[in-house]
Structures are given as C-alpha cells and as structure tokens.
Amino acid sequence: MNFKTILFSVLFISVPITISTAQEVPILKTSLVGNNIAEFIPKGFDKNKTPSLILVSEPKSKGKLPSDWSLIPEFALKNEKASAVLHLNGDISLYGGGEVTGPLLRNGQSIKLWNTDTGAYSVEGGKRLYQTHPWVMGVRKDGSAFGIIFDSTWKAELITNSNQIIYNSEGALFRVYIIDRKSPQEVIKGLSELTGTIKLPPRWALGYHQCRFSYDSEKRVMEIADNFRERKIPCDVIWMDIDYMQGYRVFTFDSIRFRNPKTLNDNLHKKGFRAVYMIDPGVKVDREYSVYNSGTQNDVWVKKNNGEEYHGKVWPGDCAFPDFTSPKTRNWWGGLYKDFLNTGIDGVWNDMNEPAVNDNDFPEDKRLGTMPYDTPHKGGDNLPQGSHLLYHNAYGRLMVEASYNGILKTNPDKRPFLLTRSNLLGGQRYAATWTGDNYAGWDHLKLSVPMSLTLGLSGQPFNGPDIGGFLGNTDGDLWANWLGFGAFMPFARGHACAGTNDKEPWAYGTEIEKSSRIALERRYRLLPYLYTLFYESSQTGLPVMAPVFFADVQDARLRSEEQAFLLGENLLVVPAFAKDPILPSGIWEELSLVEGDKQDKYQAKLSIKGGSIIPAGKIIQNAGENSFDPLSLLVCLDKSGNAKGELYVDSGDGFGFQKGDFALLTFSAEKKKDTVVIKTAVNQGKRNVSQEIKAINVQLFLDGKIYTAAGTLKDGITITLK
C-alpha cells in the first residue's frame, strides 16, 4: 500500500552459491512421511538454526524411501550458507514460487526470496516481491507431477532451470520435502497435507470489495456505499485504509473524520455491507499512546543487540515493532483486537508486514528497506532465538497467526477474514492475500492472471490483484477490461492509491458503469458455484482459479497458456484482452449469465465444460441475500450424454458446518433418447435446504442451443429435446 516504495527501493545484493565449489553435504536421513511424500534431512541439520515455519505439523516417518525413488536432492554448504539442487531428466514443465512476476511457466526463471515492499514491482524488475514460497512443481510429459518444498525461511534465491532446480540460502542447512504423484492436482493436495489449507471464509468475503487509499471520512465511506446501492451495483465490503487512524496509530480512530466507528459500521451493516480496516505492525513511539505503553510494559518489542528498542520509520514516524517470534508477543497482539473489533469491524487487513521500514540512511547491503540482518529475535516455545536474516521472511506469517487467533478469540462465532501483504508458504492457513501494489497499466493487467494462478499453484487459492491497478491513474477502458475478468478471480477488490483518480465502477461514465454492473452481476450469479469451490479448496488445497492445463495435463499445448484460466474444473474464463489463447479441447459451451453480457466488449467469455453442472443463483446486491430463490442449474452434457455437479450450502458464517449444519448436494444429468433427466441428492450434511432452495431452473446447453425447464429439489426434472 506504500506508494513511497518506489523512492525507497534499494538494490538487492545476493551472493549466489555455486554448487560445484561448495562442500557436498551427505543426506543423514530419508523417509516417507505421507502418500508418496519423502523427507530429506542433510547431515548437520539443526532445527534450532532452521526451524520450520512452513509445515502445519511435524511430519512423522511412515516408512523407508522406496528403492526406485528417483527424486533425490543434493545438499551443499559454503561459508555456512546452505544450498540444495534437484537434477531433472526429461521434458518437465516447472511452476510455483508463489508470488512472482513473469510467466506462468517458470522454466529458466529465478527469484529472490526476501519479502520486500516493492511498489509497481520495481525492485529488481519484480524478481523480489512481498512473499516467500520456496516451492516448485514439475509436470512431466505424461501428466504425472512432483513438488519440492525447501523448508527454510532464510533469505534465499530460487532458480528453476529446465535441467535443475536450485535453492541457494544465506543460512543454515534445511530439510527438503518432495511429493511425487500421478497428477499436478494430486501434488497440490500433497502440498496441503504438509502446509495446511485455507479456512472456509465467510460467504460475504467472496463478494466484491471496494477500497481506496483512503476514503478519508465517515461521510465519504457512506457516499461510496450509497452509490453502490442506488446504482444497483453488487458489493459486499468497504475497506478503510490508514487514514481512519489517529495520526497513523494502529488500533485508534481519527477523532474528527472517524469519530463514531461503531455508528459507521452499524450503518454499513444496515445497507448490507461489511467493513474491513487496516492494521500495520509498526507502533508509533509515543509515551502518550496506550498501545506503545502496553507493548513496552509487556516487553514485546524487537530490540537491537545492545538491548535498546529497535525503531524504524513507517507512516507515523519512528515505530517500534512487535517481536512475533515470541508467544507472549503474539498473545499480546491478539488481545489488542478485542476493543477494536467490538466497534463492529468485520475483517482486518495486515499491511506493511514484510516488515517495511522507510529509513533512508542505511547501507544498501544491510537493510534492504527493513531491519538490519543481525537484529535479534527472542523466539520461544518451538522457535529458537535467531537473527532477522532467519525470521524476516516469516515476520508477516507470524503476525497473521497472531491476528487470526486474536480475531477468533474476540468473535468465536464468526469466521475471521484476514488479508495480508506479506506471507510465507503455509501462511494461507491464516490469511488471504493480494498481489501487492501493482500499476494501472496493460502490462500489469495481463500479469495479474499468471500471478494469481501461480499463487494458487503454491497453496494460496484465496488471492487476487488490485483490480484497475493501485498506482497511477486508470482510464475507463483499462478498468472495464480488468473488471471484466477480475470479477472471476478468487479475491475481487478494486483499489486505488492516494493522488490517483477515482476508481469506482461509476467513475468513468454511464457505459463503463453498465459494463461494471454486468461483470459484477455475473460474479454474484456464480456465488453458489464459487462458494462450493472455496469449500472444496478448504478440504483439499486445490486452487479455486486454475491454469487451463488442469483440463488436460497431458496436452503440451496448454502448459504455457496464461491468458485464459479455469474457475474450478468446469468453467473456462477467457478475458477480453486475450489474443489467440490456447484452449482445452473437448466440449465447451458458451454461457450467458446476464442480459447483454455476450454483447459487451469488456466481458470475459465464459464456457461450461461438457459433463458438468454448475449451480448459479439469481442476481443479488450482497452475499447476505438468498441466492437460491430460485437456484439455477447450468448443464452441459459430455459425449456420453451425462453430466454431474455439486453445491455446498451452509449458513455463510460461523462454525455450525463443523457440526454437520451444511448440505453438500450432488446433481446428475443423463440423456435418454430425446429427454434429459436431472436428479438431485443430498450427499453429505444435516442441513435442511428445502426452505432456501424452493425452486430450480435448469438451462441445458447442447450443440449451441439452450433448453430450459423448472422443478423442485424433491422432483427430478425432465427436459424434452425438440
């Protein structure tokens, strides 16, 4: 969110390790720790030097490595800096690395793993961004796949050459985990077995979000909300950037412009909106500020080697920083959310948590826009004491863990919604993410697709870009093109930087407003399908937004396609900007969800896969309204005349679903001569959905024609083909 980043961006100095001149380190232990998941521990590994902050739990050995296991990393050590390399044979397509710029296909790429505040992805041409995902997935010619986790948070470089994957760290030896399975989808499931999945979000979080740095007063916030409702443009969330605070002091409210936050939030709720507020880690050094005094009394601040508080400049000026490696600090931080959330705040945005520090008087090779490398961290419980060089890439991950737990403790009957800029592989367990401070340009519009796809392939399905571009002015053509496909990304938020033009859907005139309304109405019609995908992702780790090669993992043509994408398995999205996209073969029927969507030049083309049934709802203005009055079933038969689909339904919030208060419905369609019969069954759960789903409308897409019918859950629906 920091537009000053460009001014403060500094040169990254890396010291790559050459494998051939480093001392080879033998493997001390190998074992299977899951279904085709292998653990490799180098001799000399010490978890007190490289603790795991990536894995959801410590893996337990389940047996010896098979004798024919071929994916074995080589470890090396040079000047106390560890590295690993995996040699590759054959034609392998490489993916992963988390939040990266550049192509979806990662063969011949390299990135620097050192979380950095980098506006417009300006630092080193985007080779170093806000998050660290030491993860690579390889897909072989036959469609089988493997994944490799380098279980380290040390500053590092990740190189993905076609013949070898190299991980050069600037710290101690680390463990490596390799998953080898029959498909990339199964490898992603293996990744989630090791690192965890997202929590099922509240349904409102899947709606459209509107943000700006900043909506500067309660009055302006309500003007934005009223415009959405008066213009009948669907929206669920209004965001508060840092200007709601009193002098940028976290957990405070400006005494004039945001004098009555509870009243503001109550008024937003009455109109069907949720409110998300930003919280940064930097706490203003101010002895008249309760949060700073409380932190000092509880001894939670990061300190320098001489025992003095470490201070760095952020938005409020000199700031102290919580040492989130300490359990006591995480508990203290989580406790700060109680009074804050009791004003009616629905969600939290953790920003600037690389941590970003804007001091301008430091040696470039030491500070890199953050704390000095040798700044100590306390640790505690399973985390040892360690330097910032070890813990920097985990700082945001530890912050969102503390925030998540504090939010949940304050509101134990609500699902937390938390967004973070900085994170680490595995941090999807605590927070959604966005792709940072992008730029309002066509290059960043196009880049947003492979960036989001790569995050999904790296275990973080709940992600998306700032639609319209954060930095720089956005014109109507760029906005409408971006929203036309951005409406189908997992996290859909429009955002704008201070000093840029207004970037709301109505800011560009009536024609662009109409296009924006169509795009968002299409998203809201698909909320039942989207919510079902998020439920599945919370169970399996599979991405909500997937690359088109997932449709046919053996089709080499699809491996590098990065314009079009899949939403789940059954919906193909082709953005309006896409030129000659490479699309999967087979049956795909084009959908129309909203009147005029096929004629509007800005809308992405949507196609349903043969053999699938997609549940859709009616047009609603926010996710709190009933989508299922009626429920629509979009049906497309495969070449055998069959189709199937699922719908997940629960209360939309809370944790009743964990006790069976949900319904997982399955739909099937079968063609018999000149009729198609659609049947419904409740496959799992105890929830009675008969009051929510009173009527069903069916649209059958067959050979370019559309057939319709209506019925209820209890009765099968028959369509006669004429």
The mean per-residue pLDDT over the stretch 346-363 comes to 86
Residue among 309, 338, 276, 386 at smallest CA distance from 52: 386
> Does residue 3 have a pLDDT over 70?
no
Residue among 481, 495, 478, 353 at smallest CA distance from 437: 495
**CA distances for 363 relative to 81, 303, 355, 373, 526, angstroms:** 22, 19, 17, 11, 51
Spatial contact of 329 and 397, defined as CB atoms under 8 Å apart: no
238-264+274-416 is a CATH 3.20.20.80 domain: yes
For CATH 2.60.40.1180, the residue range(s) in the chain are 531-720
Residue among 539, 527, 540 at smallest CA distance from 657: 539
Tens digit of each residue's pLDDT (9 = 90 or more) over 668-713: 999 999 999 999 998 899 999 988 999 999 999 999 999 999 999 8
Tens digit of each residue's pLDDT (9 = 90 or more) over 120-168: 999 888 999 999 999 999 999 999 999 999 999 999 999 999 999 999 9
Q: What share of the chain is helix, strand, coil (3-state, %, to 5)?
A: 25, 30, 50
Spatial contact of 129 and 423, defined as CB atoms under 8 Å apart: no
Beta pairing class for 37-42 and 274-279: unpaired
For CATH 3.20.20.80, the residue range(s) in the chain are 238-264+274-416
Residue reference for tokens 């041409």: 125
The mean predicted confidence, pLDDT, of the chain is 95
Helix (H, G, I), strand (E, B) or coil at 176: strand
The mean per-residue pLDDT over the stretch 377-405 comes to 98
**What are the helix and strand counts (H, E) for the chain?**
13, 41
Spatial contact of 678 and 668, defined as CB atoms under 8 Å apart: yes
Q: Which helix (H) or strand (E) holds 44?
A: none
**CA distances for 343 relative to 251, 258, 349, 410, 476, angstroms:** 11, 12, 16, 12, 36
For residues 263 and 615, give the distance between their C-alpha atoms in angstroms, rounded to a whole number.
37
Question: What pTM value is reported for the model?
Answer: 0.96
Query: How much of the chain exceeds pLDDT 90, in percent?
Result: 93
Tens digit of each residue's pLDDT (9 = 90 or more) over 511-527: 999 999 999 999 999 99
Positions marked active-site:
351, 354, 437
For residues 485 and 602, give the distance between their C-alpha atoms in angstroms, rounded to a whole number.
8
Largest Cα span, the chain: 84
What is the sign of the dihedral through the CA atoms of 352, 358, 359 and 365? positive
The CATH number of domain 5-195, selected from 3.40.50.300, 2.60.40.1760, 3.40.1550.20, 3.20.20.80: 2.60.40.1760
For residues 233 and 227, give the distance between their C-alpha atoms in angstroms, rounded to a whole number.
8
For residues 43 and 607, give the distance between their C-alpha atoms in angstroms, rounded to a whole number.
52
Looking at residue 326, its amino acid is S
Tens digit of each residue's pLDDT (9 = 90 or more) over 61-90: 999 999 999 999 999 999 999 999 999 999
The CATH number of domain 531-720, selected from 2.60.40.1180, 3.20.20.70, 1.10.510.10, 1.25.40.10: 2.60.40.1180
| Residue-level pLDDT at 715 | 84
The dihedral formed by the CA atoms of 314, 315, 318 and 320, expressed in degrees to the nearest 10: -70
Number of C-beta neighbours around residue 342 at 10 A? 12
For CATH 2.60.40.1760, the residue range(s) in the chain are 5-195
For residues 722 and 718, give the distance between their C-alpha atoms in angstroms, rounded to a whole number.
13
What angle separates helix 510-525 from helix 476-486, to the nearest 10 degrees? 10
> Does residue 633 have a pLDDT over 90?
yes
Tens digit of each residue's pLDDT (9 = 90 or more) over 30-64: 999 999 999 999 999 999 999 999 999 999 999 99
Residue reference for tokens 């004491």: 385
> Does residue 387 have a pLDDT over 90?
yes
Tens digit of each residue's pLDDT (9 = 90 or more) over 586-598: 999 999 999 999 9
581 burial type by CB count under 10 A (0-12 exposed, 13-18 middle, 19+ buried): middle
Residue among 320, 538, 326, 328 at smallest CA distance from 428: 538
The mean per-residue pLDDT over the stretch 317-340 comes to 98
